[in-house]
Amino acid sequence: MKVPFRPGQLLFLGTLFFLPVLNPQLFSWLHGLLAVPVFFALTTNGRQAGAALIWVSLLLAGLGALLLQRVELFFFSLTMVPLGYTLYHSADKRESVATSGGKGVAILSLTWLFFWGLYGVTAGFNPYVNLLKVLDFGFQQTLEVYSSKEAGLSPEVIYNLQQITNNLRAITPKLLPGLLASMTIFTVWVNLVIANVLAGRQNNGSLPWGRYSSWKLPDQLIWLPIVAVSLLIVGHGPIQYGGGCLLLVSGLLYFFQGLAVVIALFERWNVPVLVRIILYFVLLIQSYSVVFLAVLGLSDVWFNMRQKSDER
């Protein structure tokens, strides 16, 4: 019987899903990118052959995880498979990047909620509460390390660290929902960007979601930061913290749009590649870059900076 896919693809895909199980310390970052190989397997081989490739690869990786007695890590890797299928179907239907990303966020959120809910029931603890405890313990441990005599810090610096740590311990539980939502959105965005680039290389430059410089959020989403700021100003307690969570999410979304604006301007001005790399690096290391790009992305809603003056 003829195999509908190449053995090399089977080995490659199975290895990608097995590496985070084999060495979590070294390859745990791969968990967040595993929607890309699923998407690529489907676009390269077609729906039926791609699905066969994916499930055989997962079977082999699952057997390896079973032998290593790390099945829970493998199951967590599986949470990225629905996202890969979602991106593939969106690309196949030629849906917009905003629609594709929105579907991806919804699917990944539901998948992660299902996984952690089931894991919490079987393990006998609340994963959310446990995460809060782990974060709080991490803040304490960090403060103890820098407050020790071996660190050699002055009393003034130690006092400032204590104040910062206490503030973080107080505010993190309030903003954790927004942080988790932002992490989900960021994961989908990374997979969407990489999948778009790989699909373009495979299809002779034809990108399923167009160039990143053209990516744009729906105009209606402008109400998200407006509502967030309003809740922060007039709200109290949980309502105010809810506004903070919304502000984190909207800030990240408009950061993505601000990055698209910067890339579009670089392309219009024909900025040399080396200069672009240097400027990207400067943006990366500056602490205010996230805020700057978010404001830039927000401004693009009104000023349409990616269009030339004669096109407006």
d(CA 76, CA 151): 38
Residue 298 lies in a domain: yes
CB 183, CB 265: distance < 8 Å: no
- Residue 262 belongs to a domain: yes
For residue 284, name the pLDDT band (cuts at 50, 70, 90): confident
The answer to whether residue 218 is domain-embedded is: yes
- Is residue 289 domain-resident? yes
Q: Is residue 148 part of a domain?
A: no
Per residue in 147-183, pLDDT (tens digit) is 888 878 888 988 999 999 999 999 999 999 999 999 9
Residue 167 counted as domain residue: no
Question: For the ranges 35-39, 59-63, 155-159, which has the lowest average pLDDT?
Answer: 155-159
Tokens of 183: 């992490």
Closest CA to 52 of 67, 63, 38: 38
The per-residue pLDDT for range 223-233, each reduced to its tens digit, is: 999 999 999 99
Tally of structural domains, the chain: 1
Determine the structural domain holding residue 256 and report its residue range: 211-312
- 56 within some domain: no
Are the beta carbons of 48 and 203 closer than 8 angstroms?
A: no
- pLDDT surpassing 60 at residue 311: no
- DSSP per residue over 8-76, as a string? HHHHHHHHHHHHHHH-HHHHGGGGGGTHHHHHHHHHHH-HHHHHHHHHHHHHHHHHHHHHHT-HHHHHH
User: Which letter does DSSP use for residue 126 in this model?
Assistant: -
141 belongs to a structural domain:
no
Q: What is the pTM of this model?
A: 0.94
